[in-house]
Structure 1
Amino acid sequence: MRILGVDPGLRRTGFGVIDTDGARLRYVASGTIVVPPAAALAQRLKVILDNLREVVRDTQPDVAALEIVFLNTNPSSTLLLGQARGAALCALADCGLDVHEYTALQIKKSVVGTGRAAKEQVQAMVRHLLALDGLPAPDSADALACAISHAHVGPLADRLLLMSKKGKSGRARLRGGRLAV
C-alpha cells in the first residue's frame, strides 16, 4: 500500500509518501510546499490545493493520512491553520483518496513511543524507520510520521471495522492474541 502523509500549514505544508509491505516501510518521496506569505489568503490556499493535487498525480498513493489541528492559544492562527487543512483535505478528496486523520499526539506516540516527543525526536525516528541517509526537514518529517502512523494503525483499524460489521457471527475473533477473520 502507498500512503501519502500530510502535515498542513498555511506557510509550509509538508508531504511524505511511503510504501508498506506488511511491517516493512519504504521511503518514496517527501517535500515541503512553501506558500508565498505576501499572497492573499485565497491564493495561498490555492497553492496548497494545486501542489497537493500534483503530488497525488506524481506519486499515485492508495490512501492519505492527515494531521488533525487542535486549538492553539491564538484563535486567529488556529482558524487560518484550519483553512490550510481544509484546502489539503479538499485536494485529497478531489483526487479520490480515502483520508484518515490523526492527532499530533497519536502520530508521535505511534512513531516515537511518546505523545510528548520533540520535533527532533520525530525526525530521528523517521530517519531510522525509513533508513534515510540524513534527517528529513521538519515539515517533511511530520508528514512522513503521519504516513508511518497510518501504516501502523490503519490495518488494525480496518480489521476491527470488519469485525464490528460481522457482529456476533463468530467469524472474527481473537486467536493467539491476533485478530482472526
Structure 2
Amino acid sequence: MAEKIDLSPAQIIKDPIHFFAFGLGSGLSPVAPGTFGTLMALVIYWFLLADFSTYWYIAVCVASIPVGIWLCHESARKLGVHDYGGIVWDEFSGLWITFIFAPKHWLVALVGFLLFRFFDILKPWPIKWADQKVEGGLGIMLDDILAGIMALVVLQFILAMGWLGL
C-alpha cells in the first residue's frame, strides 16, 4: 500500500521543488507514477533533447544528476517520505542516460523506454543494492542512474548488432 501524503496535487504543483521532483506533475498519476514519469521524460527527450549535439546532450544528462539529487532529497524531506512513488525526477535522469549516443528514431525510443523500465522495475544487482542501501536524494537517484546505464549498454549493443534494422 502506497504511503499517503498530506498535500493535494494542486499544492504539489505550486511548489517548484515538488513540481520538478514530480516530473512536471507526471508523478501525480494514481497508477504507475514511475511509468508516467518515464513517459514525460521521453516526451522531453523526443521534442527537445534528442536534437542536441552529443556534447550538450551528455552535459544535460550529467547536470540532471546533482539537480535531481537535490530535488529528490528536498521533495522527500518536505513530504516526510523517503522515495515517495510520485517523485520521478530520477526516472528523467535514468531515461535520458539510456539515450546517450542513440539516434533519434521512434523504434530506438521505444526500445530504450522498455529497457529502462525493465531494469528500473526488476532491479537486478547492483540496482537493487543501491535502492536498498543508499539513503537521501542520492539513494532516490542512484538506482535509476544505474538502470539508465544498464539500459544504455544493452541499447548500444542492440544498435551495434543491427537488430533494429536501422
Smaller-chain TM-score bracket: 0.3 to 0.5
Q: Calculate the TM-score normalised by the size of structure 2.
A: 0.36
Higher fraction of helix: 2
Higher fraction of strand: 1
| Larger Rg over CA atoms | 1
